[in-house]
């Protein structure tokens, strides 16, 4: 039997509307909870040398390089002794949910003596940003701030400049 196209359209729309009706569900209560994110060293990592990996990518893809190679590269890859001791550190940290689980923050210590700040876990960027007392107060309202003048290992890099750009153009 052959059906007119308008009948098929009406039947299809009726079935769609019927299946899209709201269904009553049980009401549930969300209780606050915490979780931990284990941080472990990946022993299988083959290349832990960023500048060396960068130079290999340059050789493979033939784009302009701006990092040193060879002996100059090796001379610039000296790790601070204290930092080198932490390379194979394993640990855990408690992540605390923000309002409506919009973000999770982790307490971190910066400077010497240590200043505790909450770090927003952002997997979309490798950049590490904190609010600082060097910023105008209007930018830091409501946030814990890093106070460089209270840290014995803070150094101003006189004559240095920096800029940053992201793939989205910001």
Does this model's pTM top 0.75?
Answer: no
Per-residue model confidence as pLDDT tens digits over 32-79 = 666 666 666 666 666 567 777 777 887 888 877 665 666 665 555 555
CA distance 26 to 162: 54
DSSP state of 132: B
Q: 143 and 113: one domain?
A: yes
The verdict on 113 and 148 lying in the same domain is yes
C-alpha 102/C-alpha 95 separation (Å) is: 12
Q: Please list the pLDDT of the chain residue by residue as tens digits (170 residues).
A: 555 554 444 444 444 444 444 555 555 555 666 666 666 666 666 656 777 777 788 788 887 766 566 666 555 555 555 556 665 666 677 777 777 767 777 888 888 999 998 887 766 666 777 889 999 999 999 888 999 999 998 888 888 887 877 777 87
Percent of the chain at pLDDT > 70 equals 49
Structural domain boundaries, residue 112: 92-155
Q: Are residues 111 and 145 in the same domain?
A: yes
Question: Distance (Å, rounded) from C-alpha 18 to C-alpha 88?
Answer: 58
């Amino acid at each position: 039997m052959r059906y007119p196209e308008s009948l098929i359209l009406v039947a299809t729309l009726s079935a769609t509307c019927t299946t899209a009706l709201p269904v009553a569900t049980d009401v549930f209560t969300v209780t606050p909870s915490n979780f931990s994110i284990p941080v472990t060293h990946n022993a299988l990592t083959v290349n832990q040398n960023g500048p060396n990996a960068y130079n290999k990518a340059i050789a493979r893809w033939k784009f302009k390089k701006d990092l040193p190679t060879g002996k100059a590269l090796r001379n610039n890859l000296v790790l601070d002794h204290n930092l080198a001791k932490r390379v194979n550190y394993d640990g855990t940290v408690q992540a605390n949910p923000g309002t409506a689980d919009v973000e999770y923050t982790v307490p971190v210590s910066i400077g010497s003596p240590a200043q505790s700040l909450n770090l927003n876990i952002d997997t979309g960027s490798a950049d590490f940003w904190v609010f600082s007392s060097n910023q105008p107060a209007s930018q830091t309202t409501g946030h814990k701030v890093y106070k460089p003048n209270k840290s014995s290992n803070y150094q101003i890099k006189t004559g240095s400049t920096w800029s940053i750009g992201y793939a989205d153009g910001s």
